Amino acid sequence: MSVDPKSADWTAGRHPDPPEVADPKAGPAPPAEQGEDPEEWVIGLEPMTPAQAEYLKDLSEQAHEPEAYDPELDKAEAAKRIDQLKRETGL
């Protein structure tokens, strides 16, 4: 017995749509973007993230200030230097 595709109920046996998933990038901005002082960060004493290190290195090269990059910086100090270099380079 064949089924006429035009009359078949294609929703039968279909899985329900997944629940809406929150966009992780739509959440509140990180402290640096909220205007909080990096000195007040609880996580400030942890080593800077790889993303911070890469961005700081790039900015220090663009600003012709290679001494601004130090791989031993903590998160708070890296954030302060990134903000300073962004102001200096106009980024």
pLDDT tens for 26-85 read 555 554 445 667 666 666 578 999 999 999 999 999 999 999 999 999 998 999 999 999
Summarize the confidence of residues 12-21 as an average pLDDT.
Answer: 64
Q: Long-range contacts made by residues 82-90, C-beta under 8 angstroms, separation at least 24?
A: 82/32, 82/52, 82/55, 82/56, 83/32, 85/56, 85/59, 85/60, 86/59, 88/63, 89/59, 89/62, 89/63
Q: How many CB atoms within 10 Å of residue 10?
A: 7
Q: What is the pLDDT of residue 71?
A: 92
pLDDT for the residue numbered 34? 54
pLDDT for res 32: 47
Cα 78 to the center of its chain, rounded Å? 15
Assess contact for 10 and 36: CB atoms under 8 A: no
| 3-state secondary structure (DSSP) of residue 66 | helix
Mean pLDDT for 6-17 is 59
Write down the pLDDT at residue 89: 83
pLDDT for residue 90: 84
Check if the beta carbon of residue 86 is closer than 8 Å to that of residue 60.
no
